[in-house]
Structure 1
Amino acid sequence: MAYTVCEKGCTNTSDYRVYIKNDAGPISPFHDIPLFANEGNKIFNMVVEVPRWTNAKMEIATKEPLNPIKQDVKKGKLRYVANVFPHHGYIWNYGALPQTWEDPNHIDEATGCRGDNDPIDVCEIGYRVAKRGEVIQVKVLGTLALIDEGETDWKLIAIDVNDPMAPQLSDISDVEKHMPGFLKASVEWFRIYKIPDGKPENQFAFNGEARERDFAHKIILETHEAWQNLVLGTSDAGGLNTSCVTVPNAANKLSIPDATSVVQSSPEPGAPQAVDPKVDLWHYVSLK
């Protein structure tokens, strides 16, 4: 299936949205893109929210119709991740697996914490800088278990199946073998990225050690089952927008004309707005 993006509004503003379309029209990247690109070979679709080296904290808008990608806002200001030396912006292509949901009403038996109410996050570690809104096919190598303000926030480690390194990477141990230091840098990034905002360092389950591929696949299937309950209406949506176009038996179906109307109601594209130069600052932290 081919997917395209439709940008609305102006970048670097709270009105900016990236809608996803298939051949028939607009769809939800949260609900309408299949989890599996090839289930037999465990190849997953990944929605890219943040291209590598960029700072804008983009995310699937789980509470809006059609769940476009937008920039996160906190206290009325657009959010950007700080450059914490030596890291610049996000150090992977960052995004999410569609048709997954970390249920905030469920306590994860592996971490003892509730889910964070979002699709499961993915760090794609290939060489190519992906585009915002791009849907790529990845194989999952393992996962980190970030504990973010008391919630389980899984961070899958994956690689684009078309990356030249992909044939050499089958499990999480292969990452250290062929990309020495990369997992350590990833753990450090997640541990310190909020410190410039005045927050304490993040914590991890499993002492910050990445879990293997089979464990990650188990977590993905659990979050996929949770998503199924969400979109079918058997779990409390808690404000999430579950409207979708293609999911059979979904509780909140949209017609293609209705989905098109949602996109058309967004502001027209315009010139990018200036970004505060402070976004490019280096920040230095010292962990105890």
Structure 2
Amino acid sequence: MLLSLLRSGWGCRAGALVAARLKRLQSAGLALRSAMATYRTEERGQPPSPGYRLFFQNEAGHYISPFHDIPLKVDSTQNLFNMVVEVPRWTNAKMEIATQEPLNPIKQDVKGGKLRYVTNVFPYKGYIWNYGALPQTWEDPHQKDKSTDCCGDDDPIDVCEIGSKVLSRGDVIRVKILGILALIDQGETDWKLIAINVNDPEASKFNDIDDVKKYKPGYLEATLNWLRFYKVPEGKPENQFAFNGEFKNKAFALEVIKSAHECWKALLMKKCDGGAINCTNVQVRDSPFQCTPEEARALVQSVPSSGNKESNGEDQVWHFLGK
């Protein structure tokens, strides 16, 4: 019957309609799979130790870079973004995407031969949000930001996720962007996005920065204070901010993200000086830094899977800053 229909004029039109419908369904299916993409992590070594690394895998089990291979946006129709969680709320270990290492695993920052921890500045215990970064963004250290008059800090854009759930290191979550704060760190622009997990029970109430002021009173002030003072116990001066510490709204934040994504694209296509940034990736089409899944696996397997754990008591020390 189908064959006879296709031989008729109506059948041709019906066939075209079916084909168009199938194409739309396939396109929607691809978008859905993209939005629902899941990622796994694999530890090499044990925290806390300088040799600890947390690598990422995609749905197919291929090792990937969380910096370069995880898409920035969940889909092209909504302003929902992927966030890579580096530091769970209330913890102190300064974990970060290793931007200078192949496949950019998460590791603990080391300074002066010692593992780094953020201090507890009363009344705050560790990080007061789930802290992480937006993939496929880069704050170019050679490009001066027109709004802050300072160059970027050579990292992906940082995210402070303010939802109610304590997340895990290596989680890849979907977030709504609410606003942004411009921290100036040693003369460099270090943007801090304010966002909320779309799966948070109260996510529907939060759509812009004023909603944070309304539904979580005091949280933005605490964020400003935390970022201002967290390095003071180390003997460093208070951090400074552009715009007198004013949080900019969602529209402003989206423009900052757009600019940082363009900088990242230039980086991955070798159109700018990336310095020590490692651009090895598995999935960025046409990038000269792309490697095969087999090469990525070999890179991960070359990393030692053991390491000596170091004891740490710093996360139990409290600092009280008087004025």
- Please give the TM-score of this superposition, normalised by the length of structure 2: 0.87
Is the partner of 1:170 in helix, strand or coil? Answer: coil
Paired with 2:311 and 2:193, the residues of 1 have a C-alpha distance of 30
Deviation at 1:273, TM superposition (A): 2.5
Deviation at 1:276, TM superposition (A): 2.2
Report percent identity of matched pairs: 56
Is the partner of 2:74 in helix, strand or coil? Answer: strand
Which residue number corresponds to residue 25 of structure 2?
A: none
Mapping 1:8-27, distance limit 5 Å: 8-24=44-60, 25-27=62-64
Paired with 2:82 and 2:306, the residues of 1 have a C-alpha distance of 27
Contact kept in structure 1, 2:126 and 2:315, CA below 8 Å: no
Deviation at 1:269, TM superposition (A): 4.8
Which of structures 1 and 2 has the bigger CA Rg?
2
Mapping 1:106-117, distance limit 5 Å: 106-117=143-154
Paired with 1:15 and 1:31, the residues of 2 have a C-alpha distance of 22
1:123 to 157, 160, 164: 160
Paired with 1:63 and 1:285, the residues of 2 have a C-alpha distance of 35
Contact kept in structure 2, 1:45 and 1:136, CA below 8 Å: yes
Contact kept in structure 2, 1:47 and 1:133, CA below 8 Å: yes
Contact kept in structure 2, 1:7 and 1:269, CA below 8 Å: no
Paired with 2:156 and 2:76, the residues of 1 have a C-alpha distance of 19
Paired with 1:273 and 1:85, the residues of 2 have a C-alpha distance of 28
- Please give the TM-score of this superposition, normalised by the length of structure 1: 0.97
Which residue number corresponds to residue 36 of structure 1?
A: 73
Deviation at 1:225, TM superposition (A): 0.2
1:237 to 249, 274, 279: 274
Matched, 1:54 2:54: no
Is the partner of 1:162 in helix, strand or coil? Answer: coil
Matched, 1:207 2:244: yes
Matched, 1:286 2:322: yes
Which residue number corresponds to residue 201 of structure 2?
A: 164
Contact kept in structure 2, 1:51 and 1:131, CA below 8 Å: yes
**Higher strand fraction: Structure 1 or Structure 2?**
1
1:92 to 112, 119, 129: 129
Mapping 1:185-196, distance limit 5 Å: 185-196=222-233
2:183 to 134, 146, 153: 146
Paired with 2:54 and 2:177, the residues of 1 have a C-alpha distance of 25
Paired with 1:88 and 1:220, the residues of 2 have a C-alpha distance of 29
Matched, 1:6 2:42: yes
Paired with 1:262 and 1:9, the residues of 2 have a C-alpha distance of 15
Give deviations 1:167-220, integer Å, cap 9, x for gaps.
000000000100000000000000000001100000000111100000000000
How many residues matched?
Answer: 286
Deviation at 1:274, TM superposition (A): 4.5
The answer for unaligned runs of 5 or more in structure 2 is: 1-36
Which residue number corresponds to residue 27 of structure 2?
A: none
